[in-house]
Structure 1
Amino acid sequence: MTAHPGELDPPDLPATAEPAPSHRWGFGAFLVVEAVLLASAAFVSVLLGPAPPGQPLPARDVLIGTMAPTVLAALVAILITKVRGNGPLADLRLSWRWDDVKLGLKLGSFGLVLTTVSAFIWTQAVGEANAGSAISALVEEQPMSVSAAIVMFAYLWLLGPICEEVIYRGLLWGAVERLHWGQEKWARLAAFLLSTAVFAASHLEPLRTTLLLVIAIPIGLARLFTGRLLGSIVAHQMNNFLPAVAMLLTALGVMAM
């Protein structure tokens, strides 16, 4: 598209393989999913109650308390695409491509280095007592059984990134792109910027939001460059691998946070 005098051309981005079919859901769908996530987390917290002091956290509580809200929200997002759209494969741009996997691994590796350096700088700035995440605080405050630690590791490394990508760089991204921005490149840039910001803020850890923004950039770039969700899922999983290993070893008492 040729810009008229006085208009700015959007920066060049790699073209997507094919245009996604139109869907009938938008920001309302994303708000519903966020409401499900927050409401289910609050409900599960009340239902389980506090863990007995000094007792290992059972795998059941890890599964329900940590995984269930995000998994449920992701399932609601997938359901919305089936009821109000063309299904998750088309609407969320889910397809298997080795090129997307390779790019996700590259950006995930870059993100892992970026996360490590940023986390070190962040820890020096705010102090070790304030630098940990909510999940790391859970591990530090409550010992875990071996099965619970393994469940937590699998969630942090594999399942959690899939669910979060479906919600933020799937459903939210698609809601932004559905708006008529005039040019596809501008829509994709807007989706990248908004999903990155909302992803960071949605963790509800205000002190760590700046760090989460840095962590989210390589993951969002994988979605931006490929036009599909697989790359960002792989990048997110790659980025989470070492933190998940550290969490597992800490939960098992092998190392200290």
Structure 2
Amino acid sequence: MTTTQPDEPVPEPSLELSEPRAFPAHRWGFGAFLLVEAVLLASAAFVSVLLGPVPAGQPTPVRDVLIGTMAPTMLAALVAVLITVWRGNGPVLDLRLSWNWAEVRVGLKFGALGLVVTVLGAYVWTHAVGEDNSTSAIGALVENQPMSVTAAVIMFLYLWLLGPVCEEVIYRGLLWGAVERLHWGKEKYGRLAAFLLSTAVFAASHLEPLRTTLLIVIALPIGLARLYTGRLLGAVVAHQVNNFLPALAMLLPTLGVTTL
């Protein structure tokens, strides 16, 4: 009589650098990333022209803030996913994007680290450049902006949840995969190069030169989550955790809660 052995537990990602797995090769590279960046910039310019100029002395309409903030990044991320379907094996394999609770927990750890780093970095940076120059581009748009509760909640959910997914697909997904596709002496060097380049490009892509240094600091724990797990979900979760407080700070005034 034979006895069945219990299923072996599935190993969980840890805070040690994961061993690279063998994934099917894809046929897209830096050209795909440059195309997605072009879509991002062109769609942002198109939306700006489509919405038209804001009359002098008047705040930007809430509709324009929502569309101008959300549409370009969402469209660019969609193009990135379509490229993986057309020229690769789909987003699950090519972008290393799939659901796993263990990776969520790793992302939460790096996200918590990111919050600490961000708060300290923002404190130092604000004192270096001055309070008047410390507001982000999105923050400047919504500052003193009369928004309905519905619009504020939409913006909050985008900044907290959806925006990080889109940005991670582009930078720690498509760009990361393009760098890893190059031939390096050792696999770990390719991953390290992908980490460094994606962090720098992510910061620069926000087109806020004064905040680039701070954005690099903010991006480091997010990139580390991608580096250590070898997959994208941890970076997405870390990014969402990091964005929660800034998104909440934009929502609370609309709800009548003052922030310090």
TM-score, length-scaled by structure 2: 0.89
* Structure 2 residue 164 is the aligned partner of structure 1 residue 184: no
What SS class does the counterpart of residue 204 from structure 1 fall into?
coil
Distance 1:130 1:251, change over 3 A: farther
> In structure 2, what is the equivalent of residue 13 of structure 1?
17
Q: Structure 2: where are the runs of 5+ without partners?
A: 1-15
Query: What's the CA shift for 1:241?
Result: 0.4
Contact 1:168/1:199 (CA < 8 Å) preserved in 2?
yes
**Structure 1 portions without partners, runs of 5+:** 1-11
State which of 9, 32, 38 in structure 1 corresponds to 2:41.
38
Contact 1:139 1:251 in 2 (8 A): no
| Aligned partners of 1:57 and 1:145 also within 8 Å | no
Is 2:112 the partner of 1:83? no
SS in 2 for 1:143: coil
- Give the match for residue 145 of structure 1: 148
Q: How many residues align?
A: 244
Match of 1:66 in 2: 69
Q: What's the CA shift string for 1:95-133, capped at 9, x where partnerless?
A: 212221111000001101110111011111100100110
Structure 1 residue 24 displacement after superposition: 0.3
Secondary structure, aligned partner of 1:86: coil
**2:202 & 2:258 partners in 1: Cα distance?**
29
Quote how far apart the aligned CAs of 1:14 are. 2.3
Choose the corresponding residue for 2:211, options 203, 208, 213.
Answer: 208
Q: Hey, what's the Cα distance between the residues in 2 that align with 1:55 and 1:202?
A: 25
Match of 1:106 among 98, 104, 109: 109
Contact preservation (8 Å) 2:103, 2:229: yes
- Cα distance in 1 for partners of 2:103, 2:158 equals 22
Q: Give the secondary-structure state (helix, strand or coil) at the position aligned to 2:215.
A: helix
Report which stretch shifted further, 43-52 or 219-228: 43-52
Q: How far 1:252 sits from its partner (Å)?
A: 4.6
Following TM superposition, by how much is the alpha carbon of 1:254 offset from its aligned partner in structure 2, in angstroms? 3.0
CA contact (8 A) 2:160 2:247 kept: yes
Question: Are 2:73 and 2:163, in contact at CA under 8 Å, matched by a contact in 1?
Answer: yes
Within the candidate set 196, 216, 221, 1:218 is matched to 221
Aligned to 2:95: 92
What TM-score do you get using the length of structure 1 for normalisation? Answer: 0.90
Partner of 2:159: 156
In the aligned structure 2, how far is the partner of 1:239 from the partner of 1:193? Answer: 19
Q: Which moved more, 1:121-130 or 1:62-71?
A: 62-71
Instruction: State the Cα RMSD in Å.
Output: 1.7
Contact kept in structure 2, 1:223 and 1:229, CA below 8 Å = yes
Match of 2:31 in 1: 28
For 1:24 and 1:38, the matched residues in 2 are separated by 24
Paired residue type of 1:85: G
Q: Which residue of 2 aligns with 1:57?
A: 61
The answer for the alignment partner of 1:227 in structure 2 is 230
Pairwise CA distance, 1:55: 6.4
Provide the C-alpha distance between the structure 2 equivalents of 1:246 and 1:201, rounded to a whole number of angstroms: 24
**In structure 1, what is the equivalent of residue 10 of structure 2?**
none
Cα distance in 2 between the residues matched to 1:249 and 1:51: 26
Using the alignment, how far apart are the partners of 2:87 and 2:149 within structure 1? Answer: 42
Residue 166 (structure 1) aligned to one of 166, 169, 172: 169
**Counterparts of 2:60 and 2:178 in 1: how far apart (Å)?**
42
- Mapped to 1, the partners of 2:145 and 2:204 lie a distance apart of 26
